[in-house]
Every structure is written in C-alpha cells, then in structure tokens.
C-alpha cells in the first residue's frame, strides 16, 4: 500500500508544537482583547440579524488554515457583533464573571478533556467534584446536612436550568412512588411572580400540567418576596380541590429586583405539606461567602435542594452551577441508569476483603446519575483553581467591592430628585427610574415611555449597557454591578452618563 496523497494527509491535532503555537496565539489574542475591552461599544455595535452570515462563506473550508488567519477573522467579523460581557461597563442582566484563574481552570478542563460520567472514567475528577462542592457549601454557610460530610451531597451542573429540571424530576418521582402514577396530573408547583421563568419551563419538561403551576403574587409591602401566608393560602385551596402540592421554589436574589424570599418560613410550609423546597440563589448565593449575607439563607436546613452559580459573581468562567441536595438518593432514583457498559469494576485479589470492595464501590460517585446528560465536563478543576488562586478572603473582597459600589449608586439615585429607587437594594443590584416631572403626565404610561427612552439612550452610546424589568406596572432600569473588571470609577461614570442622558430626555418632554 502506498502512502495517502498529500491532500489527504491525516492531521496531527495534538502535536505538542502545534498545540503550543495555537494556544499561545489565542492567549495573546485574549490578552490584547482584555487590555482594550473597555474601548469596545459594550453592546454589539451591529444588531442587524443576518449580518455575520453575509460575511462568512457558504461552506466550511476544504483545507486547514493557520490560526493567525482565523483570529484575524475573529477580530474583523466576530468581535464587532458581540456584546462584551466582560466590559467593566456591562451592567445588564446579571454578571457572567471571567477571571485569569477561571480561564486557567477552563484550560485545564478543556486540555485534559476527561469525561467523568462514572467514577472509573476519571476517579480524581469525580472525587475533586465532591471536595469542591463541600468546600463551597462550607464557605456559604450551608447546613451540614446538604454536604457529603453530613449525608447530603453536591454536583456541578451547567446551569440553574439543569439543576431545576433534575430537582423537579426527583420531587415528581418521590411523589409517584408515594402516591402512585395516577397522581401526576394532580401535582402542583408553586413559585412567585418574581421567580425565574426557568421553573415554569422545567415543570413542563417533567410532565407537570401548565395549569398546575401556581404563580403566587408578591407586592412592594414584602419587598416583592414570597410570603408564607400567600403560599399557605394557595396550597390549602389546591388541597381542598384534591390537588397534591409537589414543589416550592424560594429565591434568594430574584432576577427582576433582587428580592429575597423568607427561606425558613417557606420551608416550614413545605414541610407541613410534604413539598420539595428548592432554594434558588443563582446570583446572590455568591454573596453568602460574606458572613453579613448568610442570614438570607437562614432556614436552608429545611430545603431539599439549594443551587447557586459561581459563573455569575464568583470569578468562575461559564459554565458552573453548584447544586446541593439533602438526600442524594432522591436525585439518583429519578436520574440513574445502570447499563453493563457503564458499571464501575473494582479489581480484587484473593486477599482482598469483600467488605472493603463493597465499601469502595458505595463511595464511588457516578455523577451521570446526578444530571440529565450522560457526558459531562471536568468543571471541578476550574472551580478548584479559582478557590485556590483567590482564596476565600479574595473572593469576599471581590463581592464586597461591588456591594459598596452599588450602595454608592443607590445613594446617588436617591439624592437626585428626578429619580427614585424602586426596590430596596440587598446585594449589588439597583432598580431605579425617572419619576414623573412636576406638571407632566397623568399616569405611569408616559413615565414608562420616558424611562424606555432613557435606557435606550444610554445603551446607544456604547459606553454602558443596562437592562430593564417591569414591576407593579413600572418600567424600571436595572444596574447590576458585578463584572470582574468593574470598579467604583465605572459606576460613577455610568451615573454621570445617566444624568446627562436623563437631562436630554426630560428637556424633550418638557419642550
């Protein structure tokens, strides 16, 4: 047999020299990007759908191309169409942190490229995950019962959405095992009108009828937190109709206004009615590394599960979501599979004690049974690197710096008679709006339009990016402080920008 034709030469994708050259080229590109990230318009400069398709070829290249050429296309065609989430003037949605340690951990994860779906597939990866979720739980002040050390346990998911579907499935199967399959159509899920919509999506995915999802109203009187009385009334009404309460979500730091639900009070209602209670602390859970914020998680010992996202405000590059459960068997009973080809095999000699082998097998965690998918990434090494590199003290300082900046911004808004703070700030999210100018407008409709113009005007400058929410019929602007590169000066700059644009908007309405 002759050799392959030159044009069909097999690539050497892990050649050490090429690996080094390509990696260094990407690293240098990113160093340049982060050095200049504050010079880009924060929001994508081009918002025209189809722009990129018009710039790229219709088909993939036949021949490989050098990394330098690929990166030049990224610079020319991709970067102008990105919203720069790592810009220090990105205040939209919630932060999605990146850091040099998170990047280094991600490089290790992607570079080693192991798939720890069962313990035997990469024992150290599975065991490191158990270590880091216990580390995180202790840092956040979670009750011992949610940690492996106390009989519970944790897993790193890709997102809160995945964690929600897994816990809903566990709650559903627990109820079916208790009451029989016929009860499925009578199961009810409870959340507030501030709860993230992913819970409604998750409930549909696990077979809960949409009509059985209760959106319980909140009000300004409770800081838009879900009250135990409101949940109790909804539950009792459903029980009277022959329905079965299944699942209750308590949120610490809602997406819209950063509201906090009273975990302990809701946990007592859940226990009384046999419901699974999940605590969603996706954003604000990071703040619990600071002792002054741990009180918001008071009552977590009553929860069946708790989740938070280190990829939001904890300097851990996406994706990374911590999920803790009080009874891992409930989760694995709903999610486990046990085909022969995925069983751990423990070798033993004639001298081995069978009890030792059985004990080893029992302690070997197969994380495929804690999640939706079979394959999984080595996320644990990324979070481990972040925790090692910055330490608890550094991470507390990171969170507190943003809380301090948000507190300053809240005070600046409150001291400007043209504005109002719409919801009390608890963490680093400030919700505010322009108020009705004296002698103008008869209702909030025009005030809402005025605030839409203000937000659009600020974002159009490219110097900052914020998003909005509607609460109690009011269009409010959200400033979420939390970017890895965001400092007090950036918060002061966006306030100066807001004041200037607000002046322009008000003059147009008053003319």
CATH number listed for the domain at residues 388-510? 3.90.1150.170
DSSP 3-state assignment of 430?
strand
pLDDT per residue rounded down to tens, the chain (511 residues): 455 555 567 888 889 999 999 999 999 999 999 999 999 999 987 678 888 999 999 999 999 999 999 999 999 999 999 999 999 999 999 999 999 999 999 999 999 999 999 999 999 999 999 999 999 999 999 999 999 999 999 999 999 999 999 999 999 999 999 999 999 999 999 999 999 999 999 999 999 999 999 999 999 999 999 999 999 999 999 999 999 999 999 999 999 999 999 999 999 999 999 999 999 999 999 999 999 999 999 999 999 999 999 999 999 999 999 999 999 999 999 999 887 877 776 544 445 554 443 444 457 899 999 999 989 999 999 999 999 999 999 999 999 999 999 999 999 999 999 999 999 999 999 999 999 877 776 666 689 999 999 999 999 999 999 999 999 999 999 999 999 999 999 999 999 999 999 999 998 888 7
DSSP 3-state assignment of 341?
helix
Q: How many other β-carbons are positioned within 10 Å of the β-carbon of residue 348? A: 12
Torsion of CA 97, 100, 104, 107, to 10 degrees: 60
* Separation between Cα atoms, residue 280 and residue 297, nearest integer Å: 10
Mean model confidence pLDDT for the chain:
92
Domain range 144-335, CATH architecture:
3-Layer(aba) Sandwich (3.40)
DSSP 477: E
Distances (CA, A) of 205 to 187, 198, 213, 299: 14, 10, 12, 28
* Separation between Cα atoms, residue 364 and residue 267, nearest integer Å: 31
In terms of Cα–Cα distance, which of 136, 149, 162, 231 is closest to 193?
Answer: 231
> Long-range CB contacts (< 8 A, 24+ apart) of 205-210?
205/165, 205/168, 206/165, 206/168, 206/169, 206/172, 207/172, 208/168, 208/172, 208/246, 209/185
The pLDDT score that the predictor gives to residue 360 is 44
Q: Give per-residue pLDDT as tens, 453-507.
A: 999 999 999 999 999 999 999 999 999 999 999 999 999 999 999 999 999 999 8
The pLDDT score that the predictor gives to residue 9 is 79
Angle in degrees, CA 159, 164, 165, rounded to 5: 105
The pLDDT score that the predictor gives to residue 333 is 95
The pLDDT score that the predictor gives to residue 201 is 96
The pLDDT score that the predictor gives to residue 358 is 40
Break the chain into its structural domains and give their ranges: 144-335, 388-510
301, exposed or middle or buried, with CB in 10 Å at 0-12, 13-18, 19+? middle
* Separation between Cα atoms, residue 138 and residue 103, nearest integer Å: 24
The pLDDT score that the predictor gives to residue 441 is 67
* Separation between Cα atoms, residue 366 and residue 380, nearest integer Å: 14
* Residue 321 CB partners (closer than 8 Å, separation 6+): 156, 157, 158, 159, 160, 162, 163, 282, 307, 308, 309, 310, 311
The pLDDT score that the predictor gives to residue 347 is 47
Q: What is the reported pTM?
A: 0.93
Q: Give per-residue pLDDT as tens, 201-235.
A: 999 999 999 999 999 999 999 999 999 999 999 99
State the alpha helices, DSSP H only, in 314-439: 328-335, 354-363, 379-414
């Amino acid at each position: 047999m002759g050799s392959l034709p030159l044009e069909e030469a097999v690539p050497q994708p892990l050649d050490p020299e090429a690996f080094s050259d390509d990696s260094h080229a990407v690293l240098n590109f990113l160093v340049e990007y982060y050095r200049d990230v504050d010079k880009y318009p924060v929001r994508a400069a081009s918002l025209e759908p189809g722009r990129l398709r018009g710039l790229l070829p219709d088909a993939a290249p036949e021949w490989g191309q050098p990394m330098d050429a690929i990166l030049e296309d990224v610079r020319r065609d991709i970067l102008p169409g990105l919203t720069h989430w790592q810009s220090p003037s990105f205040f939209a949605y919630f932060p999605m942190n990146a850091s040099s340690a998170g990047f280094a951990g991600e490089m290790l994860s992607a570079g080693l490229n192991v798939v720890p779906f069962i313990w035997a597939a990469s024992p150290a990866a599975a065991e490191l995950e158990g270590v880091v979720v216990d580390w995180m739980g202790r840092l956040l002040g979670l009750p011992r019962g949610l940690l492996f050390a106390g009989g519970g346990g944790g897993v790193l998911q890709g997102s809160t959405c995945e964690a929600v579907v897994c816990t809903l499935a566990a709650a559903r199967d627990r109820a079916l095992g208790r009451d029989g399959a016929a009860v499925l159509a009578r199961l009810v899920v409870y959340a507030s009108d501030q709860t993230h919509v992913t819970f409604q999506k998750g409930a549909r995915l696990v077979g809960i009828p949409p009509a059985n999802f209760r959106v319980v109203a909140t009000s300004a009187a409770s800081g838009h937190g879900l009250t135990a009385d409101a949940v109790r009334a909804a539950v009792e009404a459903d029980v009277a109709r022959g329905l079965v309460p299944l699942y209750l979500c308590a949120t610490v730091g809602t997406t819209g206004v950063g509201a906090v639900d009273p975990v302990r009070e809701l946990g007592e209602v859940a226990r009384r009615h046999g419901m699974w209670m999940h605590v969603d602390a996706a954003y604000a859970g990071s703040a619990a590394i600071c002792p002054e914020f741990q009180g918001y998680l008071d009552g977590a010992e009553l929860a069946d599960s708790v989740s938070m996202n280190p990829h939001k405000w904890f300097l851990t590059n996406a994706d990374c979501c911590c999920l803790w459960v009080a009874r891992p068997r409930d989760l694995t009973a709903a999610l486990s599979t046990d085909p022969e080809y995925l069983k751990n095999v423990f070798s033993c000699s004639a001298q081995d004690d069978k009890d030792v082998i059985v004990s080893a097998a029992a302690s070997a965690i197969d994380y495929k049974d804690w999640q939706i998918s079979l394959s999984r990434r080595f996320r644990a090494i990324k979070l481990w690197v972040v925790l090692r590199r910055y330490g608890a003290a550094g991470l507390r300082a990171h969170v507190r710096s943003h809380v301090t900046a948000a507190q300053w911004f809240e005070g600046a808004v409150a001291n400007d008679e043209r504005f109002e703070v719409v919801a009390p700030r608890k963490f680093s999210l400030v919700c505010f709006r322009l108020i009705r100018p004296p002698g103008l407008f008869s209702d909030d409709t025009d005030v809402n339009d005025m605030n839409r113009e203000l937000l659009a005007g600020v974002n159009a400058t490219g110097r900052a990016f914020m998003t909005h929410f509607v609460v109690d019929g009011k269009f409010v602007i959200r400033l979420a402080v939390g970017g890895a590169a965001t400092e007090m000066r950036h918060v002061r700059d966006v306030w100066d920008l807001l004041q200037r644009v607000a002046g322009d908007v008000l003059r147009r309405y008053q003319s």
